[in-house]
């Protein structure tokens, strides 16, 4: 007995589940990067604000790297990490979509909610950056 070509190409349940697990692993990794970037951005902003309030009325000291520069560097590091993670996440999802094209047998890979959250955090990071610079 010969199998029809479409059933020969149809992945079994374990293949579909492994695809779903892989997508979820990519999402968890992206969320981890979002958490790291959020921490860097908020910590950099907090350091700058804390020292601005602490030295209110005090004379300015010239330092090579002061709290303003350090906070700015942390925000830029957080935004850079978020950008690199988003590019990697996008590349991974694109590769997965090419390896497993949407068919009747494979589920569609949904739009990444972690990438949407990363975009929102990037906007907040840019606002923090602009508030520090201006």
- Terminal C-alpha separation, the chain: 75
Per the structure, the complete domain to which residue 108 belongs is given by 19-54+68-133
Cβ–Cβ under 8 Å, residues 122 and 45: no
**Better-predicted residue by pLDDT, 2 or 78:** 78
Mean pLDDT (whole number) for 8-29: 85
CA distance 97 to 109: 7
Residue at 108 is within a domain: yes
Residue at 6 is within a domain: no
Average pLDDT, the chain: 87
Mean pLDDT (whole number) for 10-23: 84
Domain count within the chain: 1
């Amino acid at each position: 007995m010969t199998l029809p070509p479409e059933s020969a190409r149809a992945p079994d349940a374990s293949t579909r589940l492994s695809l779903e697990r892989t997508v979820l692993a990519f999402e968890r990794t992206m969320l981890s990067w979002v958490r790291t970037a959020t921490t860097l951005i908020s910590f950099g902003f907090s350091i700058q604000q804390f020292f601005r309030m602490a030295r209110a009325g005090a004379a300015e000291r010239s330092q090579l790297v002061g709290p303003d520069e350090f906070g700015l560097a942390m925000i830029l590091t957080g935004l850079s990490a978020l950008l690199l993670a988003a590019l990697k996440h996008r590349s991974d999802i694109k590769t997965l979509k090419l390896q497993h094209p949407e068919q009747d047998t494979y589920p569609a890979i949904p739009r990444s909610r972690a990438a949407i959250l990363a975009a929102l955090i990037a906007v907040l990071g840019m606002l923090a950056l602009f508030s520090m610079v201006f």
